[in-house]
Every structure is written in C-alpha cells, then in structure tokens.
Structure 1
Amino acid sequence: MYRQALELMEKVLGKEHLSTLNSMTNLAFMLNSQGKHHKAEQINRQALELMEKALGKEHPLTLNSMTNLANVLGSQGKYEEAEQMHRQALELMEKALGKEHPLTLRSKNNLRSLLEARTKSSSDL
C-alpha cells in the first residue's frame, strides 16, 4: 500500500511535493520495521536529499528525515555514520528550533539511545 501510494504521489504531484516526501518516509519506516534495513536506508537517503532540496537543511521535516536515516543506520550497526548524522541533526535542531523544543529533545534521546546500543554492542564482543 505504501509503495502504491508513493507511486501515485510521484505521478500526480511530483517527487519533491511534501505529500510525496511524506509517503516516501512512511514507506521507509515500514521497511525498516520489517527488517528491510538496506532498502529503508536507500529510500531515507533519497527522501533526505529531496527534502534538503525542496525545504532546506534546517527545516524541521528535513531534520526529521535526517534523524530517520540515522536511526536506520543504527539499526544496521553503522554506528559511526549514525552518530555523526544524529549529532548533525541535533546541532541543526538546536540552532533552528531551540534547545527545549520537543524535536530537539527527541533528537538528544535518539543520540543517547544510539550511544547505548553502540556501547552494548561493543561489550557483547
């Protein structure tokens, strides 16, 4: 269903329309939750690129997309890239939204969770 919705949105509204980008994000989220991390990563990278182009790097939806990609990278054990992306998103959110904004606080929590997972993964070895 998500794939069909995305295809229709692209045809009718174009790739850079906000509704299309939202459909792309939904599909990536579903694929990640199904364990299809590689495909979710590809779609999230594409969504982030399009959002940066359409909305700018500091737009909350772009920053949310960056966080989504970082979460998928973390799911795959790509901790260094995920950490870098989480830190970049957090820095931009603090700048654009402020340190106390709910999205900024969620971003801090995502970084904390990643660092915990990375530490746990290292200790399991």
Structure 2
Amino acid sequence: MTATSFTPGPWSITDDFHNPNNIYQEKTYPLFRCMVTPQGDCYRGSAATLQSAEHIDGISVEETQANAHLIAASPEMYEALQEACTSLVIISDQVREAAHSDHKWSGVSEKLLRYAREGQAVLAKARGEAQ
C-alpha cells in the first residue's frame, strides 16, 4: 500500500457560515458557495472550495452541490477502491488456479487483474503520481 498525503476523511460540506448546503442571493442570481472540510471543521482548512457560476452560463447550483458531495466522499471512495483492488488481485490468483481444472474460468483472471490495474492507476492519480 502506498501512503497518502491528503487529509484523511471523513469530509463534510459546509458553507462559509457553517450552514450546510446554503443557497443565497447575491445581486440578482442564486449563488452556491461551499467548502469541503475535514470532519466538518472549517477551522482546520478546506479540502476544496466550490462556487456556482450559473449566472454566466457556468456551473449550476445543482451541479456545484453534486460536485461537493462527490468530493466529500473521496476519502471513503479511495479506501474502498484500494480494498477492491487488493481483493481483485487475490481473487484472480484463485480463479487462475480454478481455470486449470475448469475452462469456464479461462481468461477471467486476466480481466480481474486488468480491473485491479485500472483501479490502481486511479489511486495513483489521486495521490498525484500519474496524470
């Protein structure tokens, strides 16, 4: 397992004034501004700051909220993918052995390893090790 340097989860969504998912009016357009913070504590800094730009045909309030939820789930998704990749490698070994006696398993091990490599590439990207 490769060590990570990002802020450990859980992360949560807060706005600038500690009011979750706040949508407020600024001038004549709705604006959603929020921070994704470690364990809901904005005094420790933020993992991400998001803002809608619907008034200039940019990201909508709904899309900004969805992005915030996706980012807030990132630490848990990272851990789940890491566990899944490890399990795929272990299972692929067992499937390879099974393929020796039952040909219906032929080629399955290679697919499982391909999925594990794809997941590991995503994890490397999350760690900043790959583009």
State the TM-score, normalizing by the size of structure 1: 0.34
Larger RCO, structures 1/2 (Cα 8 Å, 6+ apart): 2
The structure whose residues are more often strand, as a share, is 2
* TM-score, reference length from structure 2: 0.32
Larger Rg: 2
